[in-house]
Amino acid sequence: MKTALIFGITGQDGSFLAELLLAKGYDVHGVIRRASTFNTDRIDAVYRDPHENRATMHLHYGDMSDGTGLRRVIAHVQPDEIYNLAAQSHVRVSFDQAEYTADVVATGTLRALEAVRDHMKAGGKPVRFYQAGSSEMFGAAPPPQNESTPFYPRSPYAVSKVAAHWYAVNYREAYGLFVSNGILFNHESERRGETFVTRKITRALGRIKLGMQDKLYLGNLDARRDWGYAGDYVEAMWMMLQASRPDDYVVATGESHSVLEFLELAGEYSGLDWKKHVETDARYFRPSEVDHLRGDSSKARRELGWSPKIGFPALVRLMVDYDLDLAKQERTLAEAGHRVVFRGSAHA
């Protein structure tokens, strides 16, 4: 049985990856942050109380800003594979929290790599390391973007991901570590954080449809993204660590759509006269925008045998369906007298 350690297990991708690895028979360990409220919603379905003695997933407290803690977790878990998915992952927020984003995303990756380097030097078993890179690293470079496209990052988040990418390459070259960079284009799901534009849209449409919300405020509708399904993308992460040698891979659908196109399709599918409900708010524009991302993932398709299964219309539909159901649950609770608070549109 292989042992995997996931930094960022409570996030969208962490939860899908944990499920994938559990289904493959892995012993799965995850690092979670201490918070004053529970932050394990996305993994609660696969978590078992360790006291019940049938635990398949183990959680450890840790933070990418705390290198000593990361070392301790690695020494304790003795993983075969580490997936570094932890990040302050919101591009807009990174302009407000630039230093923090750099510390977690760039230096946090360096801390993890240093820990792996020392762990192996001290005789620990060989570790394969996945680094969660991003299409944001390409930024202003024109599409289609592939592994040879020069990086041109346009936000503190993207600059930090570029630094993390090069740390990973350097540790591969300098110390011979098995480190692979996935350069993943946007991937969404019903578990997507509610302040990313796709989920913000589907969440709002569900609530508007049920009369629980009137307006949806958005920023730049012209930006184009290559949107895939998160469940498909975590498979590519796993495949990268099963390859015979470490490398860097773009993971994308090869198709791009504007934010407006996403909105139109989701609005039509919801059966709403959505134009009456959508307004623009300058606060959601970015100081410097990434206009057009469309990935060329032929290397991952050729060398890993990866391909996406869920296309754009199916992705939009599954998110709208899920959020319509969620809105129904909220309305039922509200009708039963519960206080249902929704902050969705207020942030980012």
317 binds ligand GDR (CB under 6 A): no
For residue 56, give the nearest of 47, 65, 64 by alpha carbon: 47
Nearest-approach distance from CB 220 to ligand NDP, in angstroms: 17
Does 194 qualify as catalytic in the annotation?
no
Beta partners for residue 188, in sequence order: 229
How many whole angstroms separate alpha carbon 254 and alpha carbon 286?
25
84 binds ligand GDR (CB under 6 A): no
Q: Which SS3 state, helix, strand or coil, does residue 162 take? A: helix
Rg of the chain over CA atoms, in angstroms?
Answer: 20
Q: Which residues bind ligand NDP (CB under 6 A)?
A: 7-8, 10-14, 33, 35, 39, 63-65, 85-89, 104, 132, 134, 184, 186-187, 193
Question: Closer CB to ligand NDP, residue 111 or residue 301?
Answer: 111
13 binds, among ligand NDP, ligand GDR, none (CB under 5 to 8 A by kind): ligand NDP
List C-alpha distances in Å: 204 to 39, 74, 106, 259, 271. 22, 41, 33, 15, 13
- Residue from 19, 81, 136, 330 carrying the catalytic annotation: 136
Q: Tell me, what DSSP letter sits at residue 196?
A: S
Does 307 qualify as catalytic in the annotation?
no
256 binds ligand GDR (CB under 6 A): no
Which window, 60-68, 166-174, 191-199, 235-243, contacts ligand GDR (CB under 6 A)?
191-199
Report the residue from 106, 179, 205, 218 that binds ligand GDR according to the rule CB under 6 A: 218
Q: Which SS3 state, helix, strand or coil, does residue 307 take? A: coil
> Could you give the angle at the alpha carbon of 82 between the alpha carbons of 77 and 85, nearest 5°?
120
135 binds ligand GDR (CB under 6 A): yes
Question: Closer CB to ligand GDR, residue 89 or residue 213?
Answer: 89
Label each residue of 102-131 as H, E or C. Answer: HHHHHHHHHHHHHHHHHHHHCCCCCCEEEE
259 binds ligand GDR (CB under 6 A): yes
Question: Closer CB to ligand GDR, residue 26 or residue 83?
Answer: 83
Question: Closer CB to ligand NDP, residue 138 or residue 171?
Answer: 138
Q: Please tell me the count of residues contacting ligand GDR according to CB under 6 A.
A: 23
Inter-residue contact 25 to 1 (CB < 8 Å): yes
- Residue from 26, 83, 130, 157 carrying the catalytic annotation: 157
Nearest-approach distance from CB 2 to ligand NDP, in angstroms: 21
134 phi, psi to nearest 5 deg? -140, 150
For 95, counting Cβ atoms within 10 Å of its Cβ (0-12 exposed, 13-18 middle, 19+ buried), the class is middle
Report the residue from 57, 223, 250, 265 that binds ligand GDR according to the rule CB under 6 A: 223
- Residue from 15, 94, 134, 155 carrying the catalytic annotation: 134
How many whole angstroms separate alpha carbon 174 and alpha carbon 1?
30
Q: What is the amino acid identity at position 261?
A: E
Residue found by looking up tokens 């407006």 in the block: 260
Question: Closer CB to ligand GDR, residue 92 or residue 128?
Answer: 92
Report the residue from 95, 152, 196, 342 that binds ligand GDR according to the rule CB under 6 A: 196
Q: What is the amino acid identity at position 103?
A: D
Residues lying near ligand GDR in the complex (CB under 6 A): 89, 91-92, 134-136, 185-186, 195-197, 200, 218-220, 223, 225, 259, 284, 286, 289-290, 348
